[in-house]
Every structure is written in structure tokens, then in C-alpha cells.
């Protein structure tokens, strides 16, 4: 296991490029199961979750190659079982349920179980697929699903679940007739999946809004597609500049997808400007605390909650963060406190009172975005911070220490 060693206190300056989106690439890779001819995907980030997904695709009968940032995938012979060994390491594995039911009328997918940020059930995925004619049993830790031909249905989600909407987009693309999804997730990654499916011959409209129409087609073909840039990685860089008192020029930044974050950063006193192909961000004077509530898109993203908390730790005055999406997503709080932060936690709300400075210490990463907040805090802290268990970070940030070093951070990886 590796750790990151950070000598903090250096203002980051320079250009940094955003990689392809992990959360868009994962469902798009699963959707490759649906294509009868080869798919070529560009801008795929080189991450552990992507390699896990390619392993899973292989077990399900889809062969692939991954060179530079390009994946070439081709279905050979589909098989219906996603084993626990893979599913337990990556919850998004459950996204193969929709494609397998649509193609084989059968799926055996291990139940993902709990994770560090909460229970995260898949009941909404199953309920919606049942409306299309699928039936499920839960046996020995597996979801056993079967159906005849899936049928279009009118489905209103109880909650705009990202994964649930994605599973349904894939299932409905090959179903008989029209499916309408209401209260669908509006996240840009859901729209990216829909755009990919359309490039493969699907008939989807309304993606990016809460009502999506899918007209089932009889088959899908391969295509060439470029995965959207990662808005959460971009958002992490938007915090990295002001937390270190530096200035970054961010390339490939999906700025229009970052409205809620940019709004809060500006309210804190961060200077952010889109300038043609790049976004420039810097700290202008003192930062102030703000109140943030996480919401489904276009609200403030839960995946940026830990990072903005790190920034609020060094702002002037108090601010609050209410977490409305996941019930247990405050594991980073105690670690930030180890670096000298002043944070009080009550139920789902954290009250952050800014301190004049953070001081380096050994800390432990508990999940992907928590790790990012500890790296940001370490970059701002005086002295040395060691972030342990960074395998979480490697699930979601491509070449993070190389990218940060290139803009001046003193950061290196070492065995734990
Ligand atoms: C996706 C993202 C994750 C992000 C999250 C919310 C991927 C691979 N992951 O996760 O980074 O934090 O969206 O933006 O894209 N829920 C249920 N039952 C269900 C499904 C969800 O109760 O069947 C609950 C979850 O426990 C959670 C909330 O709904 O509290 C949101 O979950 P969901 O939108 O489905 O998130 P994921 O797709 O798992």
C-alpha cells in the first residue's frame, strides 16, 4: 500500500489538464456490452476502477484493449454472472444489470453491500427494472434477475438516482416500445451515457433533464466516442489554487457543469473566470466561510463536499455543510481535525470555523473524495502531511501526484 507525502505551504501555479470522467466512463464501458460491433472510446482515465470494469467486462464476455487513454471493446459471447470478488471492490459493477437483462433475459450480479460512505442500496434500480417486466430474487448474496423481452414503461423514480437512471437507460434502449423516466438524475455523466448510446443507434431524448424518453430499438452498433472531462477532478483543482494561495489555469474544464461549485467559491471570495479554452482560478485576499447543502445535480455535488470543507477550514469565520445525499459521508472530518481544523459535527451537518493555519500530520484516507480533501488540506498545511491508504485516491484521480508536482506541489508517493 502506498502513501503520499506532502510538504505543504507552496502556492500552486501553472497549467493543469483535467482527465476523462471516471463516473461517465464506467457506465459507458458497461454499455459496450450492448453494442454488436466494436467500440472505440477516447479520453478514458487510467484508474483502478476502470481496470476493474474492464476485468468485469471480460468475465461477462466482452474483450477489450486499453492503450494510452483509448479503450477498444468488442463483445464475443455474453455470460450473465458478475462475481462478488469484483463487485465488492466497485459498486458501479451493478450497472451491468440493465444490459444483461436486455440482452440475455438473465443476470446474476453480486449484491454490492455497504461501503464507507453509507448503505447505498440498489432497491430503486430493481423496482424500476421490475416495471419493465424483470423479476428478481436475492439469494446467497446475489441478485438473480430474469425476464422475457423487456417492455417499455412509465417510471417515476422516488429519488433521482444516478446509477438507477443509467441502468434504466441501458435496459430501455433495447426494450420493446417507449420508456419514460421521470424524476431521472440530471447529472452530466448520465447525459454522456445517453449521448454514447445514441451514437450506437439508441433513441434517447431529454437527457440532462428530469424527464427522459427512450424509444427501444432492436439492436445497437459500435461507435467512436470521447468521454467527457471529469467535473469532480476539475472541481478539486478549482479548490487547490485558492487553498494554497496560488493561481491555476485549468484546461479541459467542463465549466458549465460546475455552476453550483463556482457559485460557492465566488461567495467565499475565490476569483474564477472562464477564458476561452481555459478556466483561471486564484485567491484574491481573504476567504470567508459559506453554507453549503449537497443536492442532486444541478445542486452542489456531494462528490465536492469534502474538498470545499478543506477550503472552509482555512477561511475566515464560520460556515456549514449539510450532506443530503449520503448518510455517512463525513469520515474526513476527524482527519481534518488532526491537521488542526475546527469542525463540529451534528447529524448530517458540519459546522466549520476557519483557523489561521493547518499543521501537517499523518492522516488516513477513508474514501475517494475524503482522500482528495486530505491532499488539499496537506497542500495548505505547514510542514509534512502523510496521507495513508491512498489506494482510494487511485480509484478516481489519474496521475494526481504528477499533475500536482507539475504546478509546484511538493508531493511524492512512498510505500507505507
Ligand atoms: C453516483 C456516483 C457517485 C456520486 C453519486 C451521487 C458513479 C459511479 N458514482 O453514485 O460518485 O456520489 O452518484 O451524485 O457515478 N439510493 C437508494 N436506492 C437505490 C439507489 C440509490 O436508496 O437503489 C440512494 C443512495 O444510497 C444515496 C442516494 O440514493 O443515498 C444517491 O445515490 P445514487 O444517485 O444512486 O448514487 P450512485 O449512482 O451510487
Residue 76 Cα, ligand 1 centroid: separation in angstroms?
31
Q: Which atom of ligand 1 is nearest to the CA of 368?
A: 11
Residue 384 Cα, ligand 1 centroid: separation in angstroms?
35
Considering the domain architecture, whether residues 182 and 274 belong to the same structural domain is answered as no
Domain boundary (180, 204, 226) is at 226
Q: Which atom of ligand 1 is nearest to the CA of 119?
A: 26
Considering the domain architecture, whether residues 103 and 116 belong to the same structural domain is answered as yes
Residue 256 Cα, ligand 1 centroid: separation in angstroms?
22
Q: Is 63 helix (H, G, I), strand (E, B) or coil?
A: strand
Considering the domain architecture, whether residues 266 and 209 belong to the same structural domain is answered as no
In angstroms, the CA 84 to CA 79 distance is: 15
Q: Of 203, 117, 133, 126, nearest to 163 (Cα)?
A: 126
Please tell me the total number of residues recorded for the chain in this structure.
416
Residue 11 Cα, ligand 1 centroid: separation in angstroms?
35
Ligand 1 first shell, C-beta below 6 A: 23, 26, 91-92, 118, 120-125, 159, 161-164, 185, 189, 302-303, 325-326
Considering the domain architecture, whether residues 276 and 338 belong to the same structural domain is answered as yes
- Residue of the CA atom closest to atom 8 of ligand 1: 23
Q: Which three cell numbers stand for residue 24?
A: 461517465
Which residue among 49, 143, 325, 331 is best mutated to probe the pocket of ligand 1, counting the most ligand atoms within 8 A of its Cβ?
325
- The number of beta carbons lying within 10 Å of the beta carbon of residue 256 is 10
Considering the domain architecture, whether residues 161 and 259 belong to the same structural domain is answered as no
Considering the domain architecture, whether residues 180 and 287 belong to the same structural domain is answered as no
Cβ-in-10-Å burial (0-12, 13-18, 19+) of 209 comes to exposed
- The number of beta carbons lying within 10 Å of the beta carbon of residue 62 is 25
Catalytic residues: 115
Q: Which atom of ligand 1 is nearest to the CA of 326?
A: 30
Q: Which atom of ligand 1 is nearest to the CA of 120?
A: 26
Query: pTM of the full predicted structure?
Result: 0.97
Domain boundary (172, 197, 226) is at 226
Residue 247 belongs to what H/E stretch? strand 247-251
Residue 266 Cα, ligand 1 centroid: separation in angstroms?
28
- Residue of the CA atom closest to atom 12 of ligand 1: 303
Q: Of 20, 117, 56, nearest to 399 (Cα)?
A: 20
In angstroms, the CA 93 to CA 84 distance is: 10
Considering the domain architecture, whether residues 270 and 380 belong to the same structural domain is answered as yes
Considering the domain architecture, whether residues 244 and 220 belong to the same structural domain is answered as no
pLDDT given for residue 366 in this prediction? 86
Which CATH number do you get for residue 371? 3.65.10.10
Q: Of 92, 150, 148, 152, nearest to 122 (Cα)?
A: 92
Considering the domain architecture, whether residues 13 and 29 belong to the same structural domain is answered as no
- Residue of the CA atom closest to atom 32 of ligand 1: 161
pLDDT given for residue 66 in this prediction? 98
Which residue among 47, 145, 159 is best mutated to probe the pocket of ligand 1, counting the most ligand atoms within 8 A of its Cβ?
159
Considering the domain architecture, whether residues 181 and 267 belong to the same structural domain is answered as no
Residue 172 belongs to what H/E stretch? helix 162-173
Q: Which three cell numbers stand for residue 258?
A: 460546475
- Residue of the CA atom closest to atom 35 of ligand 1: 161
- Residue of the CA atom closest to atom 26 of ligand 1: 120
Total of domains in the chain = 2
In angstroms, the CA 253 to CA 146 distance is: 41
Q: 367-381: buried (b, 16+ CB within 10 Å) or exposed (e) per residue?
A: bbbbbbbbbbbbbbb
Domain boundary (208, 226, 244) is at 226
79: phi > 0 → left, psi -120 to 50 → alpha, else beta; which? Answer: beta
- Residue of the CA atom closest to atom 39 of ligand 1: 163
Please report, in tens digits, the pLDDT of each residue of the chain (416 residues total).
899 999 999 999 999 999 999 999 999 999 999 999 999 999 999 999 999 999 999 999 999 999 999 999 999 999 999 999 888 888 889 999 999 999 999 999 998 865 555 557 899 999 999 999 999 999 988 999 999 999 999 999 999 999 999 999 999 999 999 999 999 999 999 999 999 999 999 999 999 999 999 999 999 999 999 999 999 999 999 999 999 999 999 999 999 999 999 999 999 999 999 988 899 999 988 999 999 999 999 999 999 999 999 999 999 999 999 999 998 899 999 999 999 999 999 989 999 999 999 999 999 988 888 999 999 999 999 999 999 998 889 889 999 999 999 999 999 999 98
In angstroms, the CA 53 to CA 33 distance is: 12
Paired sense of beta strands 384-388 and 349-353, if any: unpaired
Which residue among 163, 181, 228, 257 is best mutated to probe the pocket of ligand 1, counting the most ligand atoms within 8 A of its Cβ?
163
Residue 91 Cα, ligand 1 centroid: separation in angstroms?
10
Residue 324 Cα, ligand 1 centroid: separation in angstroms?
12
In angstroms, the CA 397 to CA 46 distance is: 9
Q: Which three cell numbers stand for residue 192?
A: 454522456
For residue 102, the enclosing domain spans 22-226
Residue 120 Cα, ligand 1 centroid: separation in angstroms?
7
Considering the domain architecture, whether residues 367 and 389 belong to the same structural domain is answered as yes
Q: Which atom of ligand 1 is nearest to the CA of 22?
A: 8
Considering the domain architecture, whether residues 91 and 15 belong to the same structural domain is answered as no
Amino acid at each position: 500500500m502506498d502513501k503520499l507525502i506532502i510538504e505543504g505551504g507552496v502556492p500552486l501555479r501553472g497549467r493543469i489538464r483535467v482527465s476523462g470522467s471516471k463516473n461517465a466512463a464506467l457506465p459507458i464501458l458497461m454499455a459496450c456490452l450492448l453494442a454488436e460491433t466494436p467500440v472505440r472510446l477516447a479520453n478514458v482515465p487510467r484508474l483502478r476502477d476502470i481496470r476493474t470494469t474492464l476485468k468485469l467486462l471480460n468475465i461477462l464476455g466482452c474483450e477489450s484493449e486499453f492503450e494510452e487513454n483509448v479503450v477498444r471493446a468488442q463483445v464475443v459471447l455474453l455470460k450473465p454472472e458478475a462475481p462478488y470478488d469484483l463487485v465488492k471492490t466497485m459498486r458501479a459493477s451493478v450497472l451491468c444489470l440493465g444490459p444483461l437483462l436486455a440482452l440475455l433475459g438473465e443476470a446474476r450480479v453480486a449484491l454490492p453491500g455497504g461501503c464507507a460512505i453509507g448503505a447505498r442500496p440498489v432497491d430503486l434500480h430493481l423496482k424500476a427494472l421490475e416495471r419493465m417486466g424483470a423479476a428478481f430474487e436475492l439469494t446467497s448474496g446475489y441478485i438473480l434477475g430474469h425476464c422475457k423481452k423487456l417492455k417499455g414503461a412509465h417510471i417515476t423514480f422516488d429519488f433521482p438516482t444516478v446509477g438507477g437512471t443509467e441502468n434504466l437507460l441501458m435496459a430501455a434502449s433495447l426494450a420493446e416500445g417507449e420508456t419514460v423516466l421521470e424524476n431521472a438524475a440530471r447529472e452530466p455523466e448520465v447525459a454522456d451515457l445517453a449521448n454514447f448510446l445514441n451514437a450506437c443507434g439508441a433513441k434517447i431524448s431529454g437527457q440532462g433533464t428530469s424527464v427522459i424518453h427512450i424509444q427501444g430499438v432492436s439492436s445497437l452498433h459500435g461507435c467512436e466516442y470521447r468521454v467527457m472531462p471529469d467535473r469532480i477532478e476539475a472541481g478539486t483543482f478549482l479548490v487547490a489554487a485558492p487553498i494554497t494561495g496560488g493561481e491555476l489555469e485549468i484546461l479541459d474544464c467542463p465549466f458549465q457543469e460546475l455552476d453550483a461549485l463556482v457559485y460557492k467559491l465566488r461567495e467565499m471570495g475565490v476569483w474564477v473566470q472562464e477564458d476561452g479554452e481555459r478556466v483561471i482560478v486564484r485567491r484574491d485576499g481573504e476567504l470567508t466561510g459559506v453554507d453549503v447543502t449537497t443536492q442532486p445535480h444541478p445542486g452542489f455535488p456531494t462528490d465536492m463536499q469534502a474538498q470545499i470543507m478543506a477550503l472552509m477550514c482555512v477561511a475566515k469565520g464560520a460556515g456549514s455543510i449539510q450532506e443530503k445525499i449520503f448518510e455517512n459521508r463525513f469520515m474526513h472530518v476527524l482527519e481534518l481535525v488532526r491537521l488542526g481544523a475546527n469542525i463540529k459535527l451534528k447529524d448530517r451537518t458540519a459546522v466549520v470555523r476557519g483557523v489561521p493555519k493547518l499543521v501537517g500530520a499523518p492522516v488516513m484516507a477513508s474514501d475517494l473524495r475524503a482522500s482528495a480533501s486530505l491532499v488539499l488540506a496537506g497542500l495548505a498545511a505547514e510542514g509534512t502531511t502523510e496521507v495513508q491508504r491512498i489506494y482510494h485516491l487511485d480509484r478516481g484521480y489519474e496521475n494526481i501526484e504528477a499533475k500536482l508536482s507539475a504546478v509546484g506541489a511538493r508531493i511524492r508517493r512512498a510505500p507505507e
